[in-house]
Structure 1
Amino acid sequence: MQEAPNIFLVGPMGTGKSTIGRLLAAELGRPFFDSDHEIERRCGCNIPWIFDLEGESGFRQREAAVIDELTRQPGIVLATGGGAVTHPRSRELLHQRGLVIFLKTSVAHQIKRTAKDRNRPLLQCADPAARLRQLMTEREPLYREAAHVIINTERRGPRGVVTEIKRQMGQRERSLV
């Protein structure tokens, strides 16, 4: 019997990767990890603090190491940070070690979901909407490169997205038989 593949959620901030990941893991009876929470737990400080001390490049190095380690575990659901795909090795490991699902949404939806969140260092600027548009332009091709499946989360609740992920997984399994 073939072991169930790891499931890795990628996409921009505000798409619901953590919420959807927790729900999906619970429904599938799998361990759930959030790479951002894992980094904070290991460092003993929050992500904005890491950005302040080490900059984005220092944070991305930490993130790449955590993703390498977590993706080696069997049968997990992992929600990655929005910028995880910017590191080429992380993108490669995610694609090779599991089923990568790109959770996609519009910038307008991201703005609505992240407006009051002060734990997002890349949005602590004069024009968060412009920053989100810039990040989407830069990162969407990388999300697509890493992804096996793309699911739009806009106008869907988390449970609806989980149902769609499970449907897509079933289709993929049937196509491999």
Structure 2
Amino acid sequence: MPGSGKTTVGRELAKRLGRRFVDCDHELEARTGVKIPTIFEIEGEEGFRRRETQTLEALTEESDLVLATGGGAVTRAENRSLLAERGVVIYLNVTPQVLWERTRHDRTRPLLQVPDPKGRLQELYVARDPLYREVAHVVVEGGRGTPHAMVRTIEKELQTLCAL
């Protein structure tokens, strides 16, 4: 979800694992030369999602990286398949209340530029939570503790997965 800590936690996890970190949204902007809000304005959400899928397809072909996807990447079945089949998916589950507290002053998130962003976050959470859980290999309860503590939890989960 937007504001769940994907970039912060992903960056630290990559550092600890000795891997490259990539934020899919930043990569999409670098490849297109256009900011995401502008893509939404010109092409709408569907145009953005199409570009996001192309970026995810390329990134998931790479190895030895930690990838933070955009919060809505899971809304497309093809993205869920790419992620689940080509990597280990970690879902940072954060309550809508905490997400709102983290994002309420952020004007760069197109889906939250509505009259009731708190309500919108609740709607997005209800719609997306089952999709995140469908694709996740690991679910980490976020919003509690520091990003460092979340990274330690993820490392333990990854060790357990690798031992299977």
TM range (shorter): over 0.9
Distance across 1 between alignment mates of 2:31 and 2:161:
35
Give the TM-score taking structure 2 as reference length.
0.98
Out of 93, 98, 102, which is 1:113 matched to?
102
Q: Does 1:139 align with 2:128?
A: yes
Q: Does 1:25 align with 2:10?
A: no
1:42 deviates by: 1.2
Give the TM-score taking structure 1 as reference length.
0.91
Out of 76, 79, 82, which is 1:87 matched to?
76
Distance across 2 between alignment mates of 1:46 and 1:117:
15
Q: How many residues align?
A: 164
Distance across 2 between alignment mates of 1:154 and 1:124:
23
* Residue in 2 that maps onto 1:15: 4
Out of 25, 33, 38, which is 1:49 matched to?
38
1:84 deviates by: 0.2
SS at match of 2:125: helix
Query: RMSD in angstroms over aligned alpha carbons?
Result: 0.7
1:45 deviates by: 1.7
> Residue type of the partner of 2:29?
E
Q: Deviations over 1:25-60 (max 9, x none)?
A: 011110111000001111112111100000000000
Distance across 2 between alignment mates of 1:82 and 1:133:
13
* Residue in 2 that maps onto 1:155: 144
SS at match of 1:74: coil
SS at match of 2:90: strand
1:169 deviates by: 0.6
Any runs of at least 4 consecutive aligned residues in structure 1 with deviations exceeding 4 A, and if so which?
Answer: none
SS at match of 1:99: coil
